[in-house]
């Protein structure tokens, strides 16, 4: 029994029909699998003149291009990882399933408080020097550690 080979591609583009008053357009992601297409918003914006449609990236000389291009590459890597993860769970993967997985919609498994806190701490660590400080990261990391230690102690007492 042979599996049908499916095509999978990601394309970042700007939606020029939804331009804001300041001239910025939303950055979108198009997911294509075996002819089916789904789009999603990335919640990022860029001016049309700062966008390179051939490369699907911000032009290097535009303001904040480096940050946006790093976001795009990280989002692309996350999409490929989620796609691979979904393929291990299901025989066939639809673009809707991938979109939902990327947006954490209809997630079958919930996240614990400590998992969410760890993701937040990891995000803060990546933003040191960009949008956050090391002291802010350190405060959240230390507080997460103390709460984790307390929860371990609490559950050992009651078990």
Helix (H) or strand (E) holding 74: helix 65-89
Query: Domain spans of the chain?
Result: 8-103, 113-158
Q: What tens digit of pLDDT does each residue of 90-141 get? A: 878 889 988 888 887 765 556 778 888 898 899 889 888 888 899 999 999 9
Cα-flanking dihedrals φ and ψ of residue 81, to 5°?
-65, -45
Are residues 137 and 124 in contact, defined by beta-carbon separation less than 8 angstroms? yes
**Cβ-Cβ contacts under 8 Å for 117 (sequence gap 6 or more):** 140, 144, 147
Q: Are strands 8-14 and 24-33 parallel, antiparallel or unpaired?
A: antiparallel
Q: What tens digit of pLDDT does each residue of 43-93 get? A: 899 988 889 888 889 888 877 888 899 999 999 999 999 999 888 888 788
> How much is the pTM?
0.60
Helix (H) or strand (E) holding 17: none
């Amino acid at each position: 029994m042979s599996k049908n080979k499916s095509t999978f591609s990601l394309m970042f583009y700007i939606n020029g029909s939804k331009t804001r008053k300041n001239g910025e357009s939303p950055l979108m992601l198009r997911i294509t699998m075996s002819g089916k297409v789904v789009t999603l918003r990335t919640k990022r914006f860029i001016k049309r003149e700062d966008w390179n449609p051939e490369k699907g990236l911000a032009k290097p000389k535009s303001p904040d291009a480096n940050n946006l291009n790093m976001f795009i590459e990280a989002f692309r890597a996350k999409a490929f990882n989620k796609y691979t993860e979904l393929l291990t769970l299901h025989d066939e993967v639809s673009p809707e399933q991938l979109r939902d997985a990327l947006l954490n919609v209809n997630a079958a498994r919930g996240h614990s408080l400590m998992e969410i806190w760890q993701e937040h701490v990891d995000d803060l660590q990546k933003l040191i020097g960009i949008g956050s400080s090391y002291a802010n990261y350190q405060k959240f990391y230390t507080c997460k550690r103390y709460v984790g230690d307390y929860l371990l102690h609490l559950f050992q007492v009651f078990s």
